[in-house]
Structure 1
Amino acid sequence: MDGIMKVLVLSSLFPNEAQRRHGIFIEHRIAHTYTAEDEVRVVAPVPWFPSTSPRFGAWADFARAPRQASRRGVEVAHPRYPVLPKVGQTLAPWLMAAALARPIARLRERFDFDVIDSYYLYPDGVAAALLSRWFDRPFVMSALGTDVSLIPDWAPSRAMILDAVRRSAATTAVCKALADRLVELGAPAQKLHVVEHGVDLDLFRPPVDRDGLRRQMGLRGQVVLSVGHLIDRKGHDFAIRAVAGLPGVTLMIAGDGPREAALKRLAAERGVADRVRFLGHVDQAQLPALYGAADVTTLCSDREGIANVLLESIACGTPLVATPIWGSPDVVRVPEAGRLAAERSVEAIRAALAGLLADLPNRALTRRYAERYDWAETGRQHRALLARAVSDHGKGRA
C-alpha cells in the first residue's frame, strides 16, 4: 500500500438517516477502499428544501436529512445546496460547488485533505472539478450509470462531464460499457479505468436451510424475485407480464414507489394477482432471505451501471435473468450466473425465464462465481488510483 492519505469523499448519493437506501453501495465501496490509517471525511450535499411535511414526498426527505452524522466511524456532513428543477440543470454543478466551498474551507482548517474522491459525474463530479481547482487538490470521480447513459444526452452537461474527465486524475466506471460510452462521447481513454462494484459476501450468502426458509415464507413451486424502486425504469411491469405467461410461477416484488398502485392493477388485469406478492420496502438485512428463497431473480431495467441486485442475487446462489443493458452483460456472462434476455421485451424476458427455470444451475456454482465480486478488490483498485493522484499532484507542485 502507498502512504497514508487524507481523503474528502464527495457524493450527493451517500445515504443518511432520512434516506437509508440512498446510494448505500457508495458507503460499502468507501468502507473497503481506505486503510485503517487513512483519514476520511464525507461531504454529502443535500438539496435545500424548506418543509419536512410528508405531502412533499422525496423533497421532504431532503429536509429531514441531518446536518451532521457518523456512519461506520466516518464523519459525514450534509450541507445544503440550491436546486432549480428543470431550468437549473446547467447551473447545478456550479450551485453545488459554490454551496460547498465555505463548508469545505472550514473543514480544511482541521482536515487538510490530499484528494477529492467523487461519485456520480453530474453534478457531483463536475462540482468536484471546480472544488479541485479552488482548493488545489487532485480529484478522482466515478461513473455509476445514468450519469453516462442518460445525462450526457443533453449537450451542455455532456461538455461539462467531458471537461471534468480530462481534468480528473482518473475517472472510474463500474462497468466496461460505461467506459466505452465515455470514449465514444469524446473522453480520453487514458483517464478511464473500469473498477467494478463488489458485494458484501458475508451478508449476501446462500441460506443454511433453503427448504425451511421457503416453508416459513409459504412459498411453493417456482419463484421469481424482482427487486427495486417501483418506477418505470426498473421494469417491474415487464416482470409481471412475463410471469403471467408462466403458469404456476410466483413473482415476489420487493420495493416501494410511485408505480405501486399501477403495478397492482396490472397484476389484477393479467389475472395473476394471486401469484404476485408485493412486499413493499425491504431493509437490506432482510434481502438475503428473499434472494435465497427465490429460484431466479429478474432485472428488467432499461438502464443500469452494475445493479446491486445482480451481485446480491448471485452471492446468495440465485441465478439471474436480466435485460441486456449496460453493465448487466458484464455480470451475466457465464451459465452459472443465469441468462440475458435477447432484448428488453416481455416475450424475450419470458423466454429467458422459462429457459432458466427449466435448467437451473447449481446454486453452489452460482455463489462461487459471485465471489469474484469482492469489495476488498474493488477497494484495492480504487485506492491505488487515489494514491497515484496524490503522488502525481505532489510531484507537480515540487
Structure 2
Amino acid sequence: MTLNVLMLSTLFPDMSRPNFGVFVERQARELASRDGVRVTVVAPLGIPPWPLSKAKRYAALRALPAKERWKDLTVHRPVFPIIPKFGGRFNVHGMTRAILPLVRRLHAQQPFDVIDASFFFPDGPVAQRLSRALGIPYSVKARGADIHYWGTRRGTRKMVKRAADDAAGLLAVSNAMRRSMARMGIDAEKIRVHYTGVDLDRFEISDRAAAKESLGFEGPVVLCVGALIPRKGQELLVRALPHLPGVTLLFAGQGQYRRALERQAEELGVDRRIGFLGSVPHDRLPRIYAAADVMALPSSSEGLANAWVEALACGTPVVISDVGGARELLDRPEAGLIVAREPEALADAISAILTNPPDREAVREAALRFTWTANGDALLEHLRAIAAQRS
C-alpha cells in the first residue's frame, strides 16, 4: 500500500538558492526513493508586496515556476505575502491562505496519508491548519532556531506549542533538542530523535596537502561553515585569530554580518589571514573540508549542525560550543573539542589540535552512524506509524 506524503518546507532549494535547505531536499529524496512511497513537496515562497517585491532577491523568487520537477521530486512553490523583518508571526495565516486551495486540490486528486512539516515555524502551525481543514494527520520536525527562537518569542511561542500539542508525532534532530522541547511543555513521549544524514561517498577523507594546493591555501587552515549571522559566533573566531599566528581562517557562507566581520578583522590586524568564500555549492564543500585542519563553529544555539557531521566525515576534527547535540556527536576524543564561547578558549582548542592532529580515520568514525539510509528508514517508520493511526 502506497504511503502518500505531503512534505511542507519553507526551506528548500531552488534555481536562485541552490544551497538553501539542501539537507531537507536530501531527506525528501531519500524518502521518495523507497518502494511504496510517494512524496509531494510544497515549498512556499514568501514575497512582499510591491514595490518591495522588485528587489533583486525577490525578483529571482518571482521568476520561479509554480510547479517543477526538482531532482526527481515534484515541487510546488505557491507564493504568500510577507512583511520583511516585522511580519514573522503573520506568516502562518498568509501561508495557509495561499497554499490551502493547492493542497485541497492535490488531496482531492490523490489523498495524502500524512503531512511532514520540516520545521516548527511557520511550517508546524501551517500543517496544523491544513490538518484541521482536510483531516490529514501531521508530524513536525524541530531543528534548532525554530524552537530556540520562534518557540520563545512572545508572538509565536503559543503557535509553536499548539502545533506540537495537536501533532500526531514529532521529530527532533538530537536528544538535546528533545529536552529543550520538553522544557517548553511539549509531551516528550511524542518526540522521536531523528538524526541528520551525510553522504559518506561524497564527504570522505582525501589528501589534505593536495586539497590545499588545489585551492591555493598554505599553512594551517581553520574553516567555519555556516551563514554569516551573529548566532553562529564567527566574531569569536576573528577575535581568536591574533592568538593563532600563521593560521588562516576561512568562512564558507554568506550573510549581512560579513561587513561587520571584515571591519573587526581590520581593527585586529588579521584581515590578511581571513578569507570569505561566500556561498559554496554543496558539491564543492568536501574539497574545502579536506583542506582544513580544523572546522570551528562556536554557535550560541544549534540542533545538530550538518556542518559538524560533514567535517567529521571528511576526517576534519571540530571545535564547537556546548550547544544542541554537540555531546551526542563527539563521542570520542579524536572527533574534536567542546569549548566555552570565548576567543581564548577557542584559540587554545584549535592550537591543541594543530599541535597534535588526530588520526583522520578515527575522526571519520564519529560520522559513520549518520547515514541518509538510517535517516530515511527512521522517517519512513515514523510517518507510516502516524498514517496507521488514522485507519
Alpha-carbon distance in 2 for matches of 1:231, 1:87: 18
Name the amino acid aligned to 2:283: A
Partner amino acid for 2:378?
Q
The total of aligned residue pairs comes to: 390
How far off its partner does 1:91 sit? 3.4
Indicate the residue corresponding to 2:69 in structure 1: 70
One-letter identity of the residue aligned with 1:363: R
Structure 1 residues 90, 7: closer, same or farther in 2, change over 3 A?
A: same
Percent identical across equivalent pairs? 35
Residue of 333, 344, 347 corresponding to 2:344: 347
Q: Who is 1:145 aligned against?
A: 144
Q: Equivalent of 1:378, from 364, 372, 375?
A: 375
Q: TM-score, normalised by structure 1?
A: 0.92
Aligned position for 2:330: 332
| Equivalent in 3, 6, 16 of residue 5 of structure 1 | 3
1:334-370 CA-partner distances (Å, limit 9, x unpaired): 21210011x2121221122122222221001111221
Q: The residue matched to 1:216 in structure 2 has which SS?
A: helix
C-alpha displacement of 1:50: 5.1
* Residue 282 of structure 2 corresponds to residue 284 of structure 1: yes
Return the offset for 1:61. 4.3
The Cα of 1:109 is off from its aligned counterpart by: 3.1
- Specify the code of the residue in structure 1 equivalent to 2:333: P
CA deviation after TM superposition for structure 1 residue 123, in Å:
1.2
Q: CA RMSD in A?
A: 2.0
Q: Which of 261, 265, 268 is 2:263 aligned to?
A: 265
Please give the residue correspondences for 1:1-398 in structure 2 after superposition, counting only pairs within 5 Å. Answer: 3-34=1-32, 35-49=34-48, 56=55, 58-85=57-84, 88-207=87-206, 209-341=207-339, 343-394=340-391
CA distance in 2, matches of 1:329, 1:350: 20
Give 1:294 shift.
Answer: 0.7
Q: How far is the alpha carbon of 1:126 from its aligned partner?
A: 0.8
Shift, 1:140, TM fit = 1.0
**Distance of 1:85 and 1:256 partners within structure 2:** 19
Contact 1:33 1:376 in 2 (8 A): no
Cα deviation, 1:98-141, whole Å, max 9, x if unaligned, reads 22110111222322211111111111111101101111111111
Report the CA distance between 1:248 and its aligned residue: 1.3
Q: CA deviation at 1:57?
A: 5.3
Unaligned stretches of 5+ residues in structure 1 = none
Q: Structure 2 length normalisation: TM-score?
A: 0.94
Kindly indicate whether the alpha-carbon contact (under 8 Å) linking 2:47 and 2:53 is maintained by their aligned counterparts in 1.
Answer: no
Distance of 1:15 and 1:124 partners within structure 2 = 16
Gaps in structure 2 of 5+ consecutive residues? none
Q: Secondary structure at the match of 1:9?
A: strand
Q: Distance in 2 between matches of 1:166 and 1:274?
A: 51
CA distance in 1, matches of 2:53, 2:242: 35
Q: 1:57 to 1:186 in 2, by over 3 A?
A: farther
Instruction: Give the conservation status (yes or no) of the 8 Å contact 1:252–1:277.
Output: yes
